[in-house]
Amino acid sequence: MSRSPLVTRSELRRRKEEQEREAQQRKLDADKAYAQRQKEISNVYRKELKKSKPISKTRSGEKERQRERNTFLNKAILIVGILLVIVMLAVFFL
């Protein structure tokens, strides 16, 4: 009586291929989950960056701009005042 093997080579090969397929499927699922989590994290940080924009203004720059604006407005007020005086003089004396 010859004993036949309990598990044949073809059966071993089939089991090994099935295990490899399962391992590959688990790896793909893990990669998908990782990519999804990374996407969520990047979305959160992108929203945070939108909320807190980098500071591009400085105090000295703002003061200089304000000074320029003040000088322009002061000159404009002076010119309007002079023109108003000229118009009043023209109305009263002409």
Q: Specify the pLDDT at position 87.
A: 97
Residue 8 predicted with pLDDT over 90: no
- pLDDT tens digits for range 70-85: 999 999 999 999 999 9
Is 0.85 surpassed by the pTM of this model? no
DSSP line for 3-52: PPPSS-HHHHHHHHHHHHHHHHHHHHHHHHHHHHHHHHHHHHHHHHHHHS
Q: Phi/psi at 6 (nearest 5 deg)?
A: -70, -40
Supply the mean pLDDT for the chain. Answer: 90
